């Protein structure tokens, strides 16, 4: 099993959280890493979206493509 060094204060915090939640420290670490991974993913996507909006030509192309996809919303599936 791999191991990673953490500071004493982080270990104490992790232990307290585990005691309070009833979850293992390993489960809490796994959840924390997954939340951080998701946060970074969203931040990276936000930066890419901001860059797209800053490029007027690319943004116009994006809007045109969205309009094409918008037509699929009226495909009649909502009429049952």
DSSP letter, residue 69: H
Encode pLDDT of 21-56 as tens digits. 999 999 999 999 999 999 999 999 999 999 999 999
Which is nearest to 52 in space by CA: 64, 43, 42, 62?
62
Cα 64 from Cα 61, distance rounded (Å) = 5
Percent of the chain residues past pLDDT 70, beyond the cut: 91
């Amino acid at each position: 099993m791999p191991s990673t060094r953490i500071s004493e204060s982080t270990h104490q915090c992790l232990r307290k959280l585990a005691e309070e939640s009833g979850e293992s420290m390993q489960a809490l670490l796994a959840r924390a890493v997954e939340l951080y991974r998701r946060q970074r993913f969203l931040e990276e996507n936000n930066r890419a979206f901001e860059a797209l909006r800053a490029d007027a030509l690319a943004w116009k192309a994006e809007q045109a493509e969205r309009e094409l996809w918008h037509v699929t919303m009226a495909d009649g599936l909502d009429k049952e």
